[in-house]
């Protein structure tokens, strides 16, 4: 199906048009204590939301990580905050996302090596530089029917989002080039 035909289908059937469900920003430090608090401060400054600490699932002696120790901070952005954050962060990667970054459900992810490349963020020598992973979940309206706890129902094959449709939607919405 061509790109024009897909867009025409979205205008005729609004329930088929994809939407950005959420954006998850993960900043993994690998240590607890002061470095984790600095990462927490950076993520709060960038996203405007309070991050949640994530704990290690298992002990890895070589890295000095114990099970249950907080080693990362995560923020989930939804609705307009998610779109605004993506518009702020995508210029750092030159508005380009690899086609291999998309999974079979149309979600995609990319990473930043340094948080100071984001516009409006200044380098603070006391805090340092952190990299982060950004995962974007793209879905269609009605997807909740499949994942809700009460009265779960299967979704038809035609209503499932494909990577090609997700790529077209991301190109239109965010002006991203796909490599």
Interval 118-160: pLDDT, tens: 888 888 788 888 888 999 999 998 888 888 899 999 988 888 8
Instruction: Tell which wins on pLDDT, 110 or 179.
Output: 110
- At 31 the pLDDT is 77
Q: Mean pLDDT, to the nearest integer, of 93-115?
A: 88
- Say how far apart CA 152 and CA 89 lie, in whole Å: 35
- At 25 the pLDDT is 92
Instruction: Tell which wins on pLDDT, 78 or 63.
Output: 78
Instruction: Tell which wins on pLDDT, 64 or 78.
Output: 78
**CB atoms near residue 39 (< 10 Å):** 24
pLDDT reading at 68 higher than 90: no
Q: Which domains does the chain have, with CATH numbers?
A: 3-178 (3.30.1440.10)
- At 150 the pLDDT is 92
pLDDT reading at 30 higher than 80: no
- Tell the burial category of 166 from Cβ atoms under 10 Å away from its Cβ (0-12, 13-18, 19+): buried
pLDDT reading at 93 higher than 90: no
Q: Mean pLDDT, to the nearest integer, of 44-68?
A: 84
pLDDT reading at 170 higher than 80: yes
- At 5 the pLDDT is 87
Alpha-carbon Rg for the chain, nearest whole angstrom, is 19
DSSP labels, 71-128: EEEEEEEEHHHHHHHHHHHGGGGTTEE-GGGB-TTS-EEEEES-GGGSTT----TTT-
pTM, full prediction? 0.86
Mean model confidence pLDDT for the chain: 87
**In 142-156, which positions are buried (b, 16+ CB within 10 angstroms) versus exposed (e)?**
ebeeeeeeeeeeeee
Say what percent of the chain tops pLDDT 90: 24
- At 117 the pLDDT is 82
Say what percent of the chain tops pLDDT 70: 100
């Amino acid at each position: 199906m061509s790109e024009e035909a897909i867009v025409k289908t979205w205008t005729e059937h609004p329930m088929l048009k994809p939407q950005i469900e959420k954006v998850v920003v993960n900043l993994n430090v690998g240590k607890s204590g002061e470095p984790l608090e600095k990462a927490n401060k950076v993520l709060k400054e960038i996203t405007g939301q309070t991050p949640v600490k994530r704990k290690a699932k298992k002990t890895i002696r070589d890295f000095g990580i114990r099970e249950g120790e907080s080693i990362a901070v995560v923020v989930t952005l939804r609705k307009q905050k998610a779109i605004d954050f993506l518009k702020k962060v995508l210029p750092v990667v030159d508005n380009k996302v690899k086609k291999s970054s998309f999974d079979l459900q149309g979600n995609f992810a990319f990473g930043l090596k340094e948080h100071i490349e984001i516009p409006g963020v200044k380098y603070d020598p006391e805090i340092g530089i952190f990299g982060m992973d950004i995962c974007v979940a793209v879905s269609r309206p009605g997807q909740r029917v499949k994942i809700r706890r009460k009265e779960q129902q299967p979704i038809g094959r035609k209503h499932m989002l494909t990577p090609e449709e997700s790529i077209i939607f991301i190109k239109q919405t965010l002006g991203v080039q796909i490599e």
